[in-house]
Amino acid sequence: MMNFGLSDEQKQLQELARKFAKEEIIPKAPHHDETGDFPLEITKKAWELGIMNTHIPQEYGGLGLPVLDGCIVTEELAYGCTGIATPMEANTLAASPVLVAGNEQQKKEYLGRLTAEPSFAAYCVTEPGAGSDVSGIRTTAKKVGSDYVINGSKMWITNGSVANWYFVLTYTDPSQKHRGMTGFIVPANTPGITVGKKEWNMGQRASDTRGITFEDVKVSEKLRLGQEGDGFKIAMKAFDLSRPVVSIGAVGLARRALDESIQYATTRKTFNQAIANYQAVSFMIADMAKDIEAARLLVYQCAWLIDQGQRNTKQAAFAKAFAADMAMRVATDAVQVFGGYGYSSEYPVEKLMRDAKIYQIYEGTSQIQRLIIAKEIFERA
């Protein structure tokens, strides 16, 4: 039997996150967008309220909520500001390799760090010359006794300067290509790590995005995730957990753009009537509403699958590609509904348009999602 409704517990969780976004995020989002200041106080309050790290199992201090429940929370936070929601979402991505492949000691220590106090982690895979082509990374880890020595540079790392620890993907055997990759947990205070300048991005400016350089960084083999050569597989499995959460962030942003458009269209008048009465505007808003609903259902489906212990790679790619492209289109149309005012920073839709673009790029571009979908289709044809 199918059930498209939320449980009473999920509705309470949704209302809690919605209230937090309304009272704590929306009033402060313009300041963080203008200054780029990291939203530390806001995220501390979210942590105290229990709406950060919802995915971490109870035995490590988290709530142990299903991925679907985490999506319900994230949509509301993203409605408030995706630049503020992203640092919290990034914990899900960074923790996912540990959830997928960590041993009991690794989970207890490093997942426990995120739940013991307000703190962050970062997923270090992308490099200056390797984004969509993960096999193009150049960071290496060389075995020296019972340790590994890591050298290389990562780029566009969310939570770069605030992270307590990093998941770092390296090559331990470059000759094996992706089968020679190995992942490590690297504490941020390890000697040899240099954090670069904050990147001033088009949107999501509250998020802390930086380059990270590893120069003769020594880590114990106890911090290796899985075996040598497991790194690529672990990194990709992590996306099955994190892509639903990222995708629902795009839905939250689009829903905010829709609400702003509805409010403006019903109050703005031209030729003595509200612009909502014009078919050109009302049809644009109707398209926004239907696409947001479709995107949310795709996200819920891929989240539900992973919660049932089923593989969701194709459905996660469906959700990520559709939601990202939808959010960009909806935000752009919202600017159009506002007309000249939409192009002004005095109104929120220009920020939403800037914030939306990154969803088509990070955690796998929209083009990469289509490659994944095609691969899934033809390999199982």
Residues labelled catalytic? 363
Do 122 and 94 meet the contact criterion of CB atoms below 8 Å apart? yes
Distance from C-alpha of 115 to C-alpha of 92, rounded to nearest angstrom: 12
**What does the H/E/C string look like for the chain?**
CCCCCCCHHHHHHHHHHHHHHHHHHCCCHHHHHHHCCCCHHHHHHHHHHCCCCCCCCHHHCCCCCCHHHHHHHHHHHHHHCHHHHHHHHHHHHHHHHHHHHCCHHHHHHHHHHHHHCCCEEEEECCECCECCCHHHCCCEEEEECCEEEEEEEEEEEECCCCEEEEEEEEECCHHHHHHHEEEEEEECCCCCEEEEEECCCCCCCCCCEEEEEEEEEEEEHHHEECCCCCHHHHHHHHHHHHHHHHHHHHHHHHHHHHHHHHHHHHHCEECCEEHHHCHHHHHHHHHHHHHHHHHHHHHHHHHHHHHCCCCCHHHHHHHHHHHHHHHHHHHHHHHHHHHHHHHCCCCCHHHHHHHHHHHHCCCCCHHHHHHHHHHHHHHCC
Do 29 and 80 meet the contact criterion of CB atoms below 8 Å apart? yes
Task: Return phi, psi of residue 156, to 5°.
Answer: 60, 45
